[in-house]
Amino acid sequence: MAQAAGVSRQTVSNVLNAPERVSKDLQEAVLKAIKETGYRPSSMARSLALQRTGLVAFRVGDGMRNEASLLDPFMREVARIGAHYDYRLVLDAVPSDDSAQIASYQDLTASRSVDAVIIVETHLDDLRARWLTDNNVPFVAFGRPWGEESAKHSWVDVDSRLGIRQAVEYLHGKGHYRIGYIGSPVDGGRHEDRRGGWCEAMKEVVPESVSEDLTCLSFESRRRDLGANIDAFLESASPTAVVCQDDQFAHEAMRSATRVGLTPGENFAVVGFDDSMVARRAQPAISSVAQPLTQAATLVWKALLPQIRGGQEKPLQTLIPPELVIRESSDFELKR
Amino acid sequence: MAQAAGVSRQTVSNVLNAPERVSKDLQEAVLKAIKETGYRPSSMARSLALQRTGLVAFRVGDGMRNEASLLDPFMREVARIGAHYDYRLVLDAVPSDDSAQIASYQDLTASRSVDAVIIVETHLDDLRARWLTDNNVPFVAFGRPWGEESAKHSWVDVDSRLGIRQAVEYLHGKGHYRIGYIGSPVDGGRHEDRRGGWCEAMKEVVPESVSEDLTCLSFESRRRDLGANIDAFLESASPTAVVCQDDQFAHEAMRSATRVGLTPGENFAVVGFDDSMVARRAQPAISSVAQPLTQAATLVWKALLPQIRGGQEKPLQTLIPPELVIRESSDFELKR
């Protein structure tokens, strides 16, 4: 231990954590002693001195299976990039409702167990961001503050509207103009944003759709009896292509299309969202709008670290452009 | 704060962490003061007093996509159950090789950042368990100590051999006797165990296979050019059913079967392993051997907590029986 070299623990702590308080000569002597003895301060003692833990809370759901969601790969990417800054994620296993999460943040911050919090799946009337802001907890949201455009906290999100527009433009270029949309009922948040993106793109990009009642080309479902309902939608609205809120809807759409006599990838095009395994493993493989998770995870740390260090920088608020990945489900010219 | 009630921080700490050192009256006075003032000790100060962090390390891979693996749901389940004991997982984002993981454990334990470690994906010549044992780090392995049956550490694993046997028995009951196996090359670990389970079950359960050269009915691949190779295997070995090392192999087998003119679920049966989304979403849905992750996660904590508390209990070493989930891919009687 460094103490063996005649240096007190407090001096070691000062050299490591507050070098400005220590003379240059003493600094060098201590660093030399540390090197010689392999001294390694306890993370707990160091945390107490620095008032930092090197830990950031990240909620995990209590559902056993979450495979279709992007949250697991996003979490792994945030963990991987955090390691470059000597930060680790602490998994916070709490239910998905805001109040349960806030109770947990209250506990974690009051006991100073973490330096910051990452929230995901933001939604309308999200109480978490407000609580964290009011309590001066360093945090960043993966997901914009739906319905509160003036919110002052840091957030990172993917520009889904742009991704959906890319899909509509691409399908129009392949000869489609009856391009439908399939997704969840509007929620004032990300579901509505994706559907809105489709509606806007149809009006601006697809001149043939001007005379069309777009509501006929849009299908919404809470995922109950999805299959049969999509069958009926495809038969009544007769789209030649559909853009879907996520890959699971896209997968269902492809099955429905086959049931009603269409051939996905030949006379019926499907585009999903998230570029998940569901899209990649389907047959034919499904084109999908990919969320750039590495970029998102990088920005999450860029927003968090200055807050943890106590800087008064401007909040980081960024929309990242997604990227359309084209696969067999849509890669053909529509014959009229 | 409790101090305002005339009680020193040291006394508070004694009452919370070492009540046996404090008189009954003082205990009551302190607990009353705590209740009145909302005092909450810093987790760092408490950790320092208890020499415990409430944190357990769990490695996450640096691959962006890991969706077919069971590790993400297992990790979430371990986190969920750990919360009941006031324990949280810390994600350790390091490469998969043993030496990188050991370096990280060295760092985490030397700095006393975690109380224990959970290792997953055990393999032959696994250096991690040895290092953790030699360094007296509380740990448990999800995965048995392949090739080291005398190892003294705690581990929890799923009895894959039994699961494969259940699949063979089930298929034999449906009229199959040419039951093939598809998996990775033998590794002296879990891949070999599954293939061995199939071989053993064929000899013991399927009398018709006695005269058969079982190597002909077994196909191994490193997943390069998998599809075409399985096509050739199905055509040359003509199994009427296959049991597969995991659901991805099963999914490939089903595609191959369709290409060579068989109809999975009607005249060709497929059984996978892991009961993952790949199996559940395939068409037809694939029968699969399910790993009981909740039970495994519960046992992981049962093995860890006494070690953390310093008890000298016997190591917990348990094989959990898996469960065959039957779906359309195999749910028919074979007509001869």
pLDDT in tens, B267-325: 999 999 999 888 988 889 999 999 999 999 999 999 999 999 887 679 999 999 999 99
Say if residue B85 is in the same domain as residue B97. yes
Check whether residue B229 and residue B116 sit in a common domain. Answer: no
Which secondary structure element, helix H or strand E, spans residue B32, and what is its range? helix B24-37
- Assess contact for B175 and B336: CB atoms under 8 A: yes
Residue B262: the pLDDT is 97
Cα–Cα distance measured from residue A261 to residue B147, given in angstroms and rounded to the nearest whole number = 55
ipTM metric: 0.80
A113 near A51, Cβ under 8 Å?
no
Domain-embedded: residue A17:
yes
Domain check: are B91 and B80 in the same one?
yes
Distance, CA of A266 to CA of A79 (rounded, Å): 41
Residue B327 is assigned to a structural domain of this protein: no
Q: Is A279's Cβ below 8 Å from some Cβ in B?
A: no
- Coil, helix or strand for A284? coil
Decide if B336 is inside a domain: no
Say yes or no: A177 and A267 in one domain: yes
Print the domain residue range for A247. Answer: 160-291
Same domain membership, residue B287 and residue B165 = yes
Instruction: Measure the CA angle with vertex A226, ends A225 and A228; round to 5°.
Output: 75
A69 Cα to chain B: minimum distance (Å): 9
CATH number at residue A102: 3.40.50.2300
Mean residue pLDDT across chain B: 86
A325: in domain: no
**Residues A170, A245 within the same domain:** yes
My answer on whether A195 and A276 are in the same domain is yes
Q: Do B42 and A112 touch (CB under 8 A)?
A: yes
Q: Which of residues 32-91 of B touch A (CB under 8 A)?
A: 40-48, 53-55, 58, 60-68, 72-73, 75-77, 79-80, 82-83, 88-91
Nearest CA in chain A to B294: A64
Q: Two tokens at A190?
A: 């990300």
Within a domain: B83: yes
In degrees, to the nearest 5, what angle opens at C-alpha A81 toward C-alphas A78 and A82?
A: 80
How far apart CA B201 and CA B208 sit, in angstroms, is 12
Reported as type and span, the H/E element at residue A14 is helix A9-17
DSSP string of B57-88, one letter each residue: EEEE-S-S--TTSSHHHHHHHHHHHHHHTT-E
Q: Do A64 and B73 touch (CB under 8 A)?
A: yes
Tell me if A112 and B44 make a contact (CB, 8 A cut-off): yes
CB A216 within 8 A of CB A210: no
Residues B307 and B274 grouped into a single domain: no
A-chain residues within 8 Å CB-CB of B68? 277
Are residues B121 and B146 located together in one domain of the fold?
A: yes
Domain presence at residue A329: no
Q: A75, A58 in Cβ contact below 8 A?
A: yes
Residue A331 lies in a domain: no
3-state secondary structure of A191: helix
B281 shares its domain with B204: yes
Residues A299, A284 share a domain: no
Structural domains in chain A (count)? 3
**Spatial distance between the Cα atoms of A218 and B261, rounded to a whole number of angstroms:** 38
Q: Do A283 and A187 have their domain in common?
A: yes
Q: What is the pLDDT along chain A (336 residues), one digit of tens a residue?
A: 344 445 555 565 555 555 556 666 766 665 665 555 545 555 555 555 566 789 999 998 765 555 557 888 899 999 999 999 999 999 999 988 999 999 999 999 888 899 999 999 999 999 999 999 999 999 999 999 999 989 999 999 999 999 999 999 999 999 999 999 999 988 888 889 999 999 999 999 998 887 778 888 999 987 766 778 999 999 999 999 999 999 999 999 999 999 999 999 999 999 999 998 889 888 899 999 999 999 999 999 999 999 998 876 799 999 999 999 999 999 999 987
**Cβ-based contacts of A66 with chain B (< 8 Å):** 72-73, 76
- Examine the fold and report which residue of A29, A50, A71 is the final residue of a domain before the chain moves on: A50
Q: For residue A84, what is the nearest residue in chain B, using CA coordinates?
A: B93
